[in-house]
Structure 1
């Protein structure tokens, strides 16, 4: 099964739409076709476009961004192979929301790299959005290295076994 990812923050207008856009962009640059989406654990901004600072930061780096805020649903835990939380509070909320028949691996996005949370830049200046962007790039590459790397290795091992 090809990897798919849902990037999650609280309101789905800052960190998670940026994470979605960056992960999709990095995957495409690496020739990896995957489904990426984003959502919030709360429904504060459902139907809204990303924060203008999120959009400006992505555009500055040539990363296409086009999403509308939505809230995490029970179906997301079965639809995606990976759910990536922006911070520990959202990770805890996701674990509480997770249905018994969930198939997605739920982890902190930063756990694929330095283990750090992505701080919410909403109440700060553009510098917070820049830091968020840089973390999203690092975490996207680390996520793809681990997840796609595992799948490639498993495929290589299967091919080697069948040729013996």
Structure 2
């Protein structure tokens, strides 16, 4: 299984989601390749935002991902594309080729505390990154549980 997490610039939400989805799938015993990308190219090649790296580090994870932009090939390479908000959803669905196999969903569709957008913490405070981390952690765990139950129910 291959999973791609997507936000705007690929330096805040999607790199955090990437590591949390990878961790949740591993804990559920599901082999998967997980990556992240942004719909825009503003930060291509950059490390994640320092505040995102700090929150991840406080949770025992080092963020080393380099920002990249979503490519057409991603729609064929990935099974699941998990987006952070409605703007990402519209952009990704607009770019998605009709022949692609990828299933595009909002990541918070799997959040036990409710659906909706993952707010962009870029212009916020350090605390906003912690809120996003917690939201993404719940969503990643919900996604892993969904995948695990889907796998069990298939013959």
> SS of the residue aligned with 1:107?
strand
Shift of 1:21: 1.1
Q: Given the superposition, is the C-alpha separation of residues 58 and 29 from structure 1 closer, same or farther in structure 2, using an over 3 Å criterion?
A: same
> Which residue of the partner structure matches residue 132 of structure 1?
132
Instruction: Please list every run of at least 4 consecutive aligned residues from structure 1 whose deviation after the TM superposition is greater than 4 angstroms.
Output: none
Q: Structure 1 stretches of 5 or more lacking a match?
A: 159-164
Q: Is the 8 A contact 1:25 1:64 kept in 2?
A: no
> TM-score scaled by structure 1?
0.90
> SS of the residue aligned with 2:104?
strand
For residues 1-164 of structure 1, what are the structure 2 equivalents within 5 Å?
A: 3-113=1-111, 114-154=114-154, 158=155
Q: Write the distance in 2 (CA, Å) between the matches of 1:150 and 1:30.
A: 12
Count residues in correspondence. 153
> SS of the residue aligned with 1:8?
strand
Q: Is the 8 A contact 1:26 1:140 kept in 2?
A: yes
> TM-score scaled by structure 2?
0.95
Q: Write the distance in 2 (CA, Å) between the matches of 1:63 and 1:27.
A: 15
> SS of the residue aligned with 1:36?
strand
> Which residue of the partner structure matches residue 162 of structure 1?
none
Alpha carbon RMSD of aligned pairs, Å? 1.0
